Amino acid sequence: MTSVSVVVHAPDRAPRYTTPCQADPDLFFPVSESGPSLTEIAEAKRLCRSCPRTTSCLQEALDRGLDDGIWGGQTTEERRASRRRSKSVRVSR
């Protein structure tokens, strides 16, 4: 999967990232969801909580079926669980 980072350059200033995941994209794509990666996941989620795009980011990941990485503050497994809950709510109506 290819990730794209957008950096806004202002004259005579250091690059200004528009979202936390653009500053360190690798942090948001941990190697696993266990062991040493748990520290990275916790840090990525902490940064997500401060991001103004958290809700739209998560919705985009759910809509597009993105499986890898931290999106909208949720891991792959958390997004899968969200999709299962959403499907069960639709079926039970």
Q: pLDDT tens, 17-62?
A: 688 898 899 999 999 989 989 999 999 999 999 999 999 999 999 9
pLDDT at 48: 94
Report the distance separating Cα 92 and Cα 19, nearest Å. Answer: 37
Say how far apart CA 69 and CA 47 lie, in whole Å: 14
